[in-house]
């Protein structure tokens, strides 16, 4: 599955420490390999069609799944996530 990041998500990812950035990229890659696989850190997002959130430590990754693309639209700390 192809992974696409919007501008806001790329900016947030670039501002993270290298170790945390790698951890988040690995988690996204793991989900992209098989979205349907069981994952305790993956939950559906209310109000976002085909939207999910991925928990990576204190960080949240919000994304949508469409056809063969996983589009990441938000990477935020736990306290500031889901505030659109």
Give the C-alpha separation, 59 to 10, whole Å.
14
The domain locations on the chain are 2-80
Widest distance between CA atoms in the chain:
32
Domain topology for 2-80: YaeB-like fold (3.30.2310)
pLDDT-derived band at 69, boundaries 50, 70, 90: very high
Let me know: does 54 contact 22? Beta carbons within 8 Å: no
Task: Express each pLDDT in 7-52 by its tens digit.
Answer: 999 999 999 999 999 999 999 999 999 888 888 899 999 889 999 9
Q: What's the pTM? A: 0.88
pLDDT value at residue 35: 84
């Amino acid at each position: 599955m192809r992974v696409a990041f919007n501008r806001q998500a790329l900016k947030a990812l670039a501002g993270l420490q290298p170790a945390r950035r790698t951890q988040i990229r690995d988690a996204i890659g793991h989900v992209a390999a098989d979205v349907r696989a069981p994952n305790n850190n993956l939950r559906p997002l209310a109000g976002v069609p085909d939207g999910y959130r991925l928990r990576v430590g204190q960080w949240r990754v919000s994304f949508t799944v469409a056809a063969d693309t996983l589009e990441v639209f938000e990477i935020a700390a736990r306290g500031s996530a889901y505030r659109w």
